Amino acid sequence: DSGHVKIEDNPKILSGPVLTNSPNAVLSKTLLGRYNDLTIPADRILATYVWIDGTGEHMRCKDRTLNFIPKVSKDLPVWNFDGSSTGQADGHNSDTFLVPRAMYKDPFRRGNHVLVMCDTFKYNMEPTESNHRVKCQEAYDICKDDEPWFGIEQEYILLDSDLRPFGWPPGGCPPPQGPYYCGVGANKVFARDLVEAHYRCCLYAGVPISGTNAEVMPSQWEFQVGPSVGVTAGDDLWVARYILHRLAEEYGVIVSFDPKPVQDWNGSGAHTNFSTKKMREENGIIEIEKAIDKLSKVHMKHIKVYDPRGGKDNERRLTGLHETASINDFSAGVASRASSIRIPRAVAEEKKGYLEDRRPASNCDPYAVVDALMRTCILNE
């Protein structure tokens, strides 16, 4: 007996409908090819507006046709949607505004078509509750000159349509973790072609993916975005998540950013690597240590914004086991994966670079994380 919890005992995994096959998985993948090459008038640009819904965790999108080629996000019109259907407004006053903030090339439609990352505003133009971008932009505007960079490691798992990890044996777990991290081989990693498609789509779109790897649990993967500057780190990561969800539709699998999908296996995080101009300069280690000292004084404040449920999600993940530090304690260390903050070995040796905040959960809102890091470490709030 491996001592691992059987999957049947895990209500998280068993909740939800049990389907034998995703309807998307069995649809023809070639039929659309008959229509994809239909000529669309050159002055008709399809724009997919993407936004974060009222959960602060899930995404929505809708499409519109433009009659011009947008050059920057400011060219794009403000739009609206029914906020009562997304947990962002009441039914009797439901129009909610979408304000375009960042534009990417559309890897699905290509040509001049675009993906548009938006944030959301109520009828009175106040930000909606799940709009953390506004505050993040405000913080960034004040500390621009410090050049804050963020590189976020997005971990996630793939689920089959029965909501169990994709490729896991029926009714049980695969052999214990060990061989899967950065694994190679059909019994170690599942759905690499989805990961490869995502990598390429992101780079095409303009999302700066810096790398990708298989993770500790079978069907768990990671990609890294960045370094991106300030609030752009949030735009880039959200669009990378959108592209992943969208691609996974085609494969008939589900992307889960839940930070602890299966007990007794590694959870999923969104380690956030952070530096300022001073940290990257000679002897920047002094600045890094100053930042860690500031972070040590507001641990719980950060934990509250490092998942969409005020720390509740991270309670399941930051147990002190499985390469995490306890949610209740702040710690920092060189090369330590059991700390809240890790200073990478190479950074300690070169005495400059960046720190890694290992606390953000995989389903965090990067706008909130980036905002908190800038406010604590640069703005001294």
Smallest gap from Cβ 6 to Mn ion, in A, equals 25
210 or 331: CB nearest ligand ADP: 210
Smallest gap from Cβ 298 to ligand ADP, in A, equals 20
Is residue 357 within the footprint of Mn ion (CB under 5 A)? Answer: no
Q: What is the DSSP string of 215-268?
A: -SSTTEEEEEEEEEETTHHHHHHHHHHHHHHHHHHHHT-EEE--S-SSTTS---
Distance CA 180, CA 215 (A): 6
The residues that touch ligand ADP, with contacts defined as CB under 6 A, are 149-151, 153, 210-211, 224, 226-227, 271, 273-275, 280, 353-354, 356
Smallest gap from Cβ 181 to Mn ion, in A, equals 8
Closest residue to ligand ADP: CB criterion? 151
Smallest gap from Cβ 368 to Mn ion, in A, equals 19
Distance CA 14, CA 33 (A): 36
Smallest gap from Cβ 212 to ligand ADP, in A, equals 9
Q: Which stretch binds Mn ion (CB under 5 A): 68-76, 108-116, 176-184, 270-278?
A: 270-278
Smallest gap from Cβ 308 to ligand ADP, in A, equals 22
Is residue 236 within the footprint of Mn ion (CB under 5 A)? Answer: no
Site string for Mn ion, 94-133 (x = CB under 5 A): ----------------------------------------
222 or 371: CB nearest Mn ion: 222
Site for Mn ion in 153-172 (CB under 5 A): 153
Give the 3-state secondary structure of residue 157: strand
112 or 339: CB nearest ligand ADP: 339
Give the 3-state secondary structure of residue 201: helix
CB 49 within 8 A of CB 61: yes
Is residue 322 within the footprint of Mn ion (CB under 5 A)? Answer: no
Q: Which of 222, 307, 365, 371 binds Mn ion (CB under 5 A)?
A: 222
In this structure, is the dihedral angle defined by the CA atoms of residues 83, 89, 91 and 94, taken in order, positive or negative?
Answer: negative
In this structure, is the dihedral angle defined by the CA atoms of residues 166, 169, 173 and 176, taken in order, positive or negative?
Answer: negative
**Counting Cβ atoms within 10 Å, is residue 12 exposed (0-12), middle (13-18) or buried (19+)?**
middle
82 or 281: CB nearest ligand ADP: 281
Contacts of 145 (CB under 8 A, 6+ apart): 277
Is residue 60 within the footprint of Mn ion (CB under 5 A)? Answer: no
Phi, psi of 209 (to 5 degrees): -70, 130
Smallest gap from Cβ 324 to Mn ion, in A, equals 11
Distance of CA 255 to the CA centre of its chain: 11
Is residue 287 within the footprint of Mn ion (CB under 5 A)? Answer: no
133 or 278: CB nearest ligand ADP: 278
Q: Which stretch binds Mn ion (CB under 5 A): 7-15, 194-202, 220-228, 295-303?
A: 220-228
- The CA-atom distances, in angstroms, between 155 and each of 214, 221, 243, 245 are 9, 6, 15, 13
275 or 362: CB nearest ligand ADP: 275
Tokens linked to 118: 């938006």
Q: Which stretch binds Mn ion (CB under 5 A): 8-16, 30-38, 87-95, 271-279?
A: 271-279
66 or 136: CB nearest ligand ADP: 136
Q: Which stretch binds Mn ion (CB under 5 A): 8-16, 177-185, 267-275, 346-354?
A: 267-275
Tokens linked to 54: 């009222």
- Tokens 């559309």 found at: 106
CA 351, 352, 357 angle in degrees (round to 5)? Answer: 110
Other Cβ atoms less than 10 A from the Cβ of 89: the count is 20
Other Cβ atoms less than 10 A from the Cβ of 178: the count is 9
How many chain residues bind Mn ion (CB under 5 A)?
3
CA 63, 69, 73 angle in degrees (round to 5)? Answer: 70
- Tokens 């399941």 found at: 316
Smallest gap from Cβ 220 to Mn ion, in A, equals 9
Which residues are at the interface with Mn ion (CB under 5 A)? 153, 222, 271
